[in-house]
């Protein structure tokens, strides 16, 4: 009995040294794997993508009309109660719609939003004209059409416009 246990112990001890070294395909594909990586990255707008990642601005590469209209059933225009948040590292962002209250809020706070580098999410947008009106209220600020239901649920909010920062939720 001891002989079997000692044999098993020796096999377990030597096994890690008996295995061949693994090779992992990393960030730079080799000549043999390059065709597989290129096939997985189709061209956009009839342009061939570079071999390395690059920053892409969404409006440059895609027409946003396909995502419209955007409706967020858990959110509506209205007043919110400001409260403290503790979300270290969160980049400031805001939720707005195409309603008059949101457009007025954007015009009043545009400079402050731009200064803090806040990004905007348009959570109620009927069409491209409404999205253009929202963006015109705060020129120079990125505002993208997005369904806000998940954000509303996670942050327990029911109304917009709202500014969310790492330390607060406010109107």
- What pLDDT, in 10s, does the model give residues 60-83? 445 788 899 999 999 999 999 999
8 or 117, higher pLDDT: 117
Which SS3 state, helix, strand or coil, does residue 121 take? strand
61 HSE (CA, 13 A, CB side): 11
- Give one DSSP letter per residue of 126-142, joined into a string: -SHHHHHHHHHHSTTS-
CA 130 – CA 147 distance, rounded (Å): 15
Please, are residues 69 and 96 in contact by the beta-carbon 8 Å criterion?
Answer: no
Mean pLDDT of the chain: 80
User: Which pLDDT score is estimated for 64?
Assistant: 82
CA 81 – CA 36 distance, rounded (Å): 52
User: Which pLDDT score is estimated for 35?
Assistant: 55
Binning pLDDT at 50, 70 and 90, where does residue 56 land?
very low
pTM more than 0.85: no
15 or 139, higher pLDDT: 139
Q: Is the pLDDT of residue 46 over 70?
A: no
Q: What is the mean pLDDT of residues 79-100?
A: 96
Residues sharing a CB contact under 8 Å with residue 134, sequence separation 6 or more, in sequence order: 96, 97, 98, 102, 103, 106, 120, 122, 125, 143
CA 56 – CA 35 distance, rounded (Å): 23
- 117 secondary structure, DSSP code: T
Fold of the CATH domain 64-170: Glutaredoxin (3.40.30)
Q: What is the mean pLDDT of residues 36-64?
A: 50
Q: Is the pLDDT of residue 58 over 50?
A: no
CA 98 – CA 127 distance, rounded (Å): 10
């Amino acid at each position: 009995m001891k002989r079997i246990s000692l044999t098993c112990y020796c096999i377990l001890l030597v096994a890690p040294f008996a295995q061949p070294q693994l090779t992992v395909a990393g960030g730079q594909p080799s000549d043999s794997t390059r065709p597989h990586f290129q096939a997985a990255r189709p061209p956009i707008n009839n342009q061939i993508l570079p071999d390395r990642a690059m920053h892409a601005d969404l409006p440059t590469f895609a027409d946003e009309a396909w995502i419209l209209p955007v409706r967020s059933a858990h959110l509506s225009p209205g007043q919110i109660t400001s409260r403290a948040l503790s979300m270290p590292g969160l980049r400031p962002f805001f939720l707005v719609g195409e309603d008059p209250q949101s457009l007025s809020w954007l015009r009043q706070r545009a400079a402050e939003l731009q200064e803090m580098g806040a990004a905007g999410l348009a959570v109620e947008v009927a069409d491209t004209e409404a999205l253009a009106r929202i963006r015109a209220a705060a020129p120079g600020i990125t505002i993208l059409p997005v369904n806000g239901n998940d954000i509303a649920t996670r942050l327990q909010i029911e109304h917009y416009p709202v500014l969310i920062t790492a330390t607060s939720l406010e109107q």
